Amino acid sequence: MSEKAITRRSFLAGSAGVATLVAGGFVGFGSWKQAKAAEKTEQPVLATAHSMCNACSSKCGFTAYTIDGKLRKLIGDAENPMCKGKLCARGYGYSQIAYSKDRLTDPLRKNERGEFEAVSWDQAYSEIAEKVASIIGSDGPQAIAAVQDPRPSGKYYTTRFVNALGSANVYTHAAACDLSRASGFLQTIGASTYSSDIVNSKMTMFIGRNYADAIRPSSVAQLQQAHESGARIVIVDPRCNNTIAFADEWVPINPGTDLALILSMAHVLVAKGLYDQEYVKANGVGFDDWAAKLVSYTPTWAERITGISAGIIERLALEFAEAAPAASIEQGWRAAIGSAYRNSGETARAVCLFNTLLGCWNQKGGALFTSTVNSGALDEGRFPKVPKPAVPLLGLDDYPLANPATGSVLQAAKLAKDGAIKGMFFYQSNMAAGYANPAYLAEALGSLDLMVVIDVQMSETAMLADYVLPDTSYLERTEIPEFIDGMVPAVALRDQVIDKVLPNTRPVDQIYGELAEACGVGEYFPFTVEELADAQLRTVGLSLESLREVGTSFFADKAYAYGAVPIWNTPTGKIQFTSDACVKAGLTATPEWLAPSVMPGSDDFRLIGGKQPIHSHTQTTNIEDLMQITKDYDLTRVWMNADRAAQMGISDGDTVQISSSVHSGTVRVKVTERLNPTALWIPSHYGCSSPEQHTAYGVGLRQMDFVPFHIEPAYGSAMTEEVIVTVKKVGA
Ligand SMILES: Nc1nc2c(c(=O)[nH]1)N[C@H]1C(S)=C(S)[C@@H](COP(=O)(O)OP(=O)(O)OC[C@H]3O[C@@H](n4cnc5c(=O)[nH]c(N)nc54)[C@H](O)[C@@H]3O)O[C@H]1N2
Ligand SMILES: Nc1nc2c(c(=O)[nH]1)N[C@H]1C(S)=C(S)[C@@H](COP(=O)(O)OP(=O)(O)OC[C@H]3O[C@@H](n4cnc5c(=O)[nH]c(N)nc54)[C@H](O)[C@@H]3O)O[C@H]1N2
Ligand code: SF4
Ligand SMILES: [Mo]
């Protein structure tokens, strides 16, 4: 598939053309700009620069090759820990965003008729500042909030700006991604994630995590290596996803029941005494309480819930015992334990406790706590400290287990609807299309007095805004460094690699700096992004110049060593088999079976979703070449189990109407043996409802439209798969 995409890419130079130009030699992007400024360049100038992809949050490092400031090709940097030399198809395809005809070109303001009109930057800033002042005047700074998708500069500048206004309310997309996972892990092991050492493992189980479709190139490479070196790889997924290419077994579980599987595997280990008793004793608190609950979770009990035979469950548990401590349940990301169900947070807790039974933490082949290096303290004269906001992040009272680093943006939406939050800023976030039911979000965000969206194209979220501010694309701006967690911690840079395409766009650092100035808090932004990047890098022995040379730099002296006893950063300082905070939040002390909030019957289905390798969330479907792959391979179809389809008289390619309690839509069907019969699987990228995205608009269905607005108790997530749908054939 990607080969096809690559041959179509119009920006790739023919190799003969490149060869001629190479004769002129390569220069860095900075030198190219100087040459251009001096206007002495008669011959086309080739330049190269390191930067980072922005098509998903993995931020793979690459070298960009340009001719006269225009992008010609990208090559993944071999040293970069995220890509290890290979970008994925999205990484190549998404670079076209810079030249997209649907880019936002000017600041926009919505007029009384609800239409956008172009305004000057100064006018936008001064009107926004006026509204900010009025909101703060009447409701205090805590009525201001922001949402950002964690990118290096986006995160830093959004937080700094909102904090400077006196508000702590900065949220991320976590509530629709990995909030339950991070929060459940925090309750149990005091860390929001870990890394399974797949390559050195004897056995790794993936529960709703799909390396081959929800791609990070280095993870795919690791999995391939693990598979080739004999690690036993087990995929637990209602769908036989493409990771099966590197796996030994597919466990086609009923969706939403992973907790029962884990509890009953734990039952087997505890009942047979096949767990690391010494490890549990030394590191855990409350084990006996969990063990008492596990007694009833026999494989026979779990078979009825999960649809997986008791024999298979017992075998998997015994295989784990045999492989321990070089074994683990992989950390997962989104599906099943991230934000899908009423039991996602509790499933995440159980995952950590199961790994504890294996005694695999920080063991070779087990589950590791690698580390990152961070920027040290900066000179406060040049980079003034922003005072800590008086009121803490809103929403944590209602969802007390939500990871405090991200909060629950859905509770923020509710607060907007109720009028407690009145002004919201969005940076690189398409909340309205992806974080929960879009109709609810449109209403909630529609209640705001001020909504400002900074984006590169007219997203569904931007459509709702009062002001839309056009960012430069990621290829056109320099950001602050990205510190990368790993076996050897690293740092990489997103740098400007092409000349600005649209003259009236501005980079994120400039936008927030100028907004701050207009809002009267400009004193917190008296530096350029280059100065900040350089200062941060100098605290770790590097400089902007030295990082630009190499793209990625490693901290070899901080390399991971197996065997270290982790510091369990929980209230008890132990691995918490029982948690007081969970009890306070209305859950059980130890993870017990908690059924999903809805269950499909024999006439309907649970709608589940997932990634396709050529798209990211909602942000890439407007890229023509990526969407062409969708069309060529008919990728908008929903998957339906072959037996169920036969029973309903539905054939491959038929058109069906899918209806949930809140939405209905028609789509074509892919009939397959590769899906659990209780599930209907929908790709999560389609159904764009912004007419200004001319390629993506109206193609396919949007998963989130079918999901009612509801929030996982205690954890604050979107419960994206707590939805039952009926299916009716409407056309052959
Ligand atoms: N429908 C749907 N919903 C989803 C998902 C899905 O696959 N489909 N996935 C879920 C998951 S796992 C996650 S992590 C979240 C992700 O949710 P988000 O982080 O909101 O990601 P996207 O939906 O891709 O929206 C990103 C927005 O950023 C804009 N953007 C892209 N580049 C730039 C830039 O350089 N500058 C600025 N200012 N904006 C830019 C895009 O145009 C787009 O509007 O969504 C969750 N919800
Ligand atoms: N191509 C692509 N890659 C991406 C992204 C992207 O948008 N596109 N986004 C990145 C981001 S932000 C994220 S969060 C990750 C997400 O990474 P993943 O969590 O791996 O991705 P998903 O596709 O959401 O879900 C993985 C699998 O879970 C299965 N699943 C659904 N429901 C259940 C269930 O109840 N139980 C079990 N056991 N399995 C279930 C789905 O069938 C799917 O195959 O991907 C990252 N990589
Ligand atoms: S995984 Fe693909 S889309 Fe994500 S950063 Fe890497 S190359 Fe870009
Ligand atoms: Mo995500």
pLDDT greater than 70 at residue 17: no
| pTM for this prediction | 0.95
pLDDT greater than 80 at residue 509: yes
Measured N-to-C along each axis, helices 258-271 and 310-323 cross at an angle, to the nearest 10 degrees, of: 60
Q: Where in the chain is the domain with CATH 2.40.40.20?
A: 605-729
For residue 58, give the ligand 3 atom closest to its CA: 5
Q: Where in the chain is the domain with CATH 3.40.228.10?
A: 195-368
pLDDT greater than 90 at residue 39: no
CA–CA dist 295, 447 (Å, integer)? 50
Tell me how far the alpha carbon of residue 490 is from its chain's centroid. Answer: 20
CATH topology of domain 1-186+392-526: Rossmann fold (3.40.50)
Q: Is the CB of 453 under 6 A from ligand 1?
A: no
pLDDT greater than 50 at residue 172: yes
**Closest C-alpha to 170, from 438, 496, 388, 339:** 388
Q: What is the 3-state secondary structure (H, E, C) of 149-181?
A: CCCHHHHHHHHHHHHHCCCCCEECHHHHCCHHH
Q: Is the CB of 406 under 6 A from ligand 1?
A: no
Q: Is the CB of 623 under 6 A from ligand 1?
A: no
Q: What angle do CA 544, 88, 698 make, to 5 degrees?
A: 110
Q: Name the E strands within 226-377.
A: 232-236, 249-251, 284-285, 327-329, 367-368
For residue 230, the CA-to-ligand 1 centroid distance in Å is 37
For residue 708, cis peptide bond before it (omega within 30 degrees of 0): no
Alpha-carbon distances, residue 468 vs 104, 128, 450 (angstroms): 9, 11, 11
For residue 611, the CA-to-ligand 1 centroid distance in Å is 13
3-state DSSP call for residue 51? strand
- For residue 8, what pLDDT is reported? 31
For residue 620, give the ligand 2 atom closest to its CA: 7
The one-character DSSP state at 69 is T
563 Rama sector, left if φ>0, alpha if ψ -120 to 50, beta otherwise: left
Counting other chains too, the contacts that 651-657 makes at CB distance below 8 Å and 24 or more residues apart are 651/732, 653/732, 654/729, 654/731, 654/732, 655/729, 655/730, 655/731, 655/732, 656/727, 656/728, 656/729, 656/730, 657/727, 657/728, 657/730
> Tens digits of per-residue pLDDT, 484-508?
999 999 999 999 999 999 999 999 9
pLDDT greater than 80 at residue 4: no
For residue 334, the CA-to-ligand 4 centroid distance in Å is 6
Neighbours of ion ligand 4 (CB under 5 A): 177
For residue 616, the CA-to-ligand 4 centroid distance in Å is 9
**Smallest CA separation from ligand 2 atom 23, residue:** 610
- CATH for 605-729? 2.40.40.20
The one-character DSSP state at 466 is S
> Tens digits of per-residue pLDDT, 413-427?
999 999 999 999 999
**Smallest CA separation from ligand 3 atom 4, residue:** 56
CATH topology of domain 195-368: Dimethylsulfoxide Reductase; domain 2 (3.40.228)
Ligand index nearest the alpha carbon of residue 614 = 2
Maximum distance among all Cα pairs of the chain, rounded to whole angstroms: 80
- For residue 602, what pLDDT is reported? 96
Q: Is the CB of 618 under 6 A from ligand 1?
A: yes
The residues lining ligand 3, judged by C-beta closer than 6 Å to any ligand atom, are 53, 55-56, 58-60, 82-83, 87-88, 90-91, 215-217, 616
> Tens digits of per-residue pLDDT, 275-288?
999 999 999 999 99
3-state DSSP call for residue 84? coil
- For residue 491, what pLDDT is reported? 98
